[in-house]
A and B are shown apart, each in its own frame.
Chain A
Amino acid sequence: MPTTRRSLLGTGLAAAATLALPAVARAAGPRVVVVGGGFGGGTAAKYVKKLMPAAEVTLVERDKQFVTCPFSNYVIGGMEKMQTITHGYEKIAKRGVTVVHDEAVGVDPVARKVSLKGGTVLDYDRLVLSPGIDFVWGGLEGYDEAASEIMPHAWKAGPQTLLLRKQLEAMPDGGTVIIVAPANPFRCPPGPYERAGMIAWYLKNNKPKSKILIFDPKETFSKQALFFEAYESLYPGMIQWVGGKQGGKVTKVSPKEMTVEAEFGEEKGDVINVIPPQRAGKIAQVAGVTDEKGWCPIDPRTMESTKVKGIHVVGDACIAGAMPKSGTSANSQARNAAAAIVAMLEGKEPPEPSFANTCYSIVAEGYGFSVTGVYGATPEGIKEIAGGVSKLKAPAKDRDLEAAYAYDWYRGIIYDALG
């Protein structure tokens, strides 16, 4: 496809700007800047460097450590510790990726420059954005950043994960936990329901008179039948799901009263976990690659923004058709984007991508199941070729095996993205 083929220096202004620099300042290889050192960004940086060692790859990440959302539900349930889900950037730095801990605050797509909060300005030939999500504060009445200190979201892992864990530990037996699930699209479609399972696992063993209510504007959700089967067999009577049809849509929360107002009525909770509406991380908006709903349209063959040339968007921030917003999706999109970027920098045709996703959910020790899919790029976006969920009524040994596979998946993706 000739439109996506670009030379090493790009065209027009970008080339002129690069050539205007004194010879000594000119980078040895093409410069690729990646913003966001999570699943998408780490993978993109690592694979560009791997496929094109001459490239100068810079990874810009705000935080010194990456705390993963995957497995954070197991910390909340008490099955894992924060240490398990906390990772450094030393290994990826050893692979020759320059890691800069700063926040990207500006993008000039014409001069091809990214500016950082600390004052540094980075030139790029190709920019990858994988900033994940930001919350739409106030998108749910009563829920702003201050409210999240009382009713944690725990939808970005870190202090919020620990806050929710502590609240559960402090809750009396017989208490009510409320989970407010968001409308589509959002990060990790099975996440709220896995969380309900892990919280139930903790409560069953420690505070068995307690209850969990899930309020949901949706009428169906990911792996629903598998979650219901698990709730019923593992935690009978403990978890109640109130879906869209039953008035489960929450219209307002009140942190002072510890109440949520849903369409069916008001409910008081002892612990309230609000998963708020989301959009692409702010830098995507700053760069001008978001649409009116706050997500980033891309060309699935290259993951390049359809709004701004030279910027590729991967992970939760992008609109990836049939692919869910997951760490595995971000990782797969980033590998394909890296291959496309390298081809484009070499003036070659980008290779045809192949995408995959697998999301395991563990709802008790030794009880896991999964959703998986293989996807391809079409002119209408990313489409599923094959996939599906684990069998219902599977034998206990399969659930146990899938829980073990989840751990292997975690080891594998951490290695692929940051190792």
Chain B
Amino acid sequence: MQRHPWIIAAALSIASAPALAAPTVEAIARNCVVCHGPKEAGQVEIPKIANYPARKMVEMLTGFRDGQKEATIMNRISKAFTDEQIQALAAHFAGQ
């Protein structure tokens, strides 16, 4: 269930970018973890995203990206990602 969208997403993003290989979901996800760290990092305000429900993450990220949800910073960051990458990230963090 959780792995499923990721597999499809990976296939899609490779198919849509033949010239330049797309980064792996792991490579993208490692950037997220700096601010949305594991509990050990001791963050207070920034939401943790390990085990985050996949459906909700897709809703949040696409909402930020498309200007339907207010944000201070994620609106700018999420514009870097395609639907497929957002699906893949959501599946990745949900599976942690």
Name A's B-contacting residues (CB within 8 A): 328, 331-332, 335-336, 339, 351-356, 358, 370, 372, 374, 376, 378, 385-390, 394, 398, 401-402, 404-405, 407-409, 411-416, 419
Contacts and interface: CB of A to CB of B under 8 A. Distances in A.
B35 A405 contact: yes
Contact of A372 (B21, B40, B77): B77
Nearest to A357: B31
A352 B41 contact: no
Contacts of B43: 408, 411-412
A170 B38 CA distance: 42
B53 interface: no
Contacts of A354: 23-24, 27-28, 30-31
Interface of B: 20-24, 26-28, 30-31, 33-38, 40-46, 72-73, 76-81
B34 A353 contact: no
Nearest to B32: A356
A386 B77 contact: yes
B35 A385 contact: no
Contacts of A385: 80
B79 A401 contact: no
B35 A358 contact: yes
B42 A415 contact: yes
A408 B34 CA distance: 9
Contacts of A352: 20-24, 27
Contacts of A353: 23, 27
A386 B75 CA distance: 10
Nearest to A349: B21
A390 B70 CA distance: 12
